[in-house]
Amino acid sequence: MNLRTLLFFFILIPVMFFGLLWSVFVNMLDPTGDGFHKVTAWWGRFSAKLFGISIEVTGQENYNPDQNYLVISNHAGMADIPLLLGIMNLNLRFVAKEELGKIPLFGNVIKKAGFVMIKRGQNREALKSLLQASEVLKSGRSVHIFPEGTRSLTGELLPFKRGAFLVAQKGGAPVLPVTIIGSHLITPKKSLKINKGKIRVIISKPIPPSQFKSVEELMATSSQIIGNNLKQFSKN
């Protein structure tokens, strides 16, 4: 535990609590969840400033803010979600693990706003809950999924799971690969420490699912893009 951890408990947690109360009201006025997205985008930017995290973004020109995408990225730190909410100029929803949806108040708010709760595992129920995200894409919103399924301990890319790419295929939206570098050093896995530092985000060009013969080919290409970015930009 360090000073930034104390800031998390004594400043960010209270801000989040009052933000959730406000979001209940926002969701009542705007059941589409678009109003809640604006709240979460502000929260993402506020969190970065509070903890002294600098963010360098490459490739903002590679996507159209007026279009919707299935956004995928590697996952190496707890900062990844607020980071992406704060910097991506998209009306974005996240696919989150089922347990988050059971948290009092918080779970109710994010579900009302269109976040998709997914069951862990490879069974039929997991696939069914994941494919709900394709309906969010069809509504014109963007959806984010971590195709690794869990956080990487070292920042190295883990194998992708095919479910995310089924969502893109069913939802008819381009895949937007995003590479996050350095977040595993800001919020290390299995640690309460929050470190000051720099995170690099590389937004690659969208990939139309229709160009691929199978979900597996789409998955392999997406993994290769993010893997290559990790190798290239981690050295700079």
Residue 222 φ/ψ, nearest 5 degrees: -65, -45
Q: Looking at residue 168, what is its pLDDT? A: 93
Q: What is the mean pLDDT of each run of 10 residues along the chain (236 residues)?
A: 85 93 95 95 95 95 97 93 95 91 93 88 71 91 94 91 91 96 87 89 96 95 97 81
Greatest distance between any 2 Cα atoms in the chain: 51
Amino acid present at 102: K
- The H-or-E segment that residue 200 falls in is strand 197-203
Q: Looking at residue 122, what is its pLDDT? A: 59
* Whether 63 contacts 169, CB under 8 Å: no
Range of the domain at 202: 3-234
228, with CB counted inside 10 A (0-12, 13-18, 19+), is: middle
Label residues 132-171 b or e (16+ Cβ within 10 Å = b). ebbebbeeebbbbbbbbbebbeebebbebbbbbbbbbbbb
Q: Looking at residue 43, what is its pLDDT? A: 95
How many angstroms separate the CA atoms of 141 and 68, rounded?
Answer: 5
CATH number of the CATH domain containing 30: 3.40.1130
Q: Looking at residue 236, what is its pLDDT? A: 64
DSSP per-residue codes, 152-165 = -SSSPPPPPPTHHH
**Number of structural domains, the chain?**
1
For residue 72, the SS3 value is: strand
Q: Looking at residue 218, what is its pLDDT? A: 97
Read off the pTM.
0.94
Paired residues of 145 in beta bridges: 72
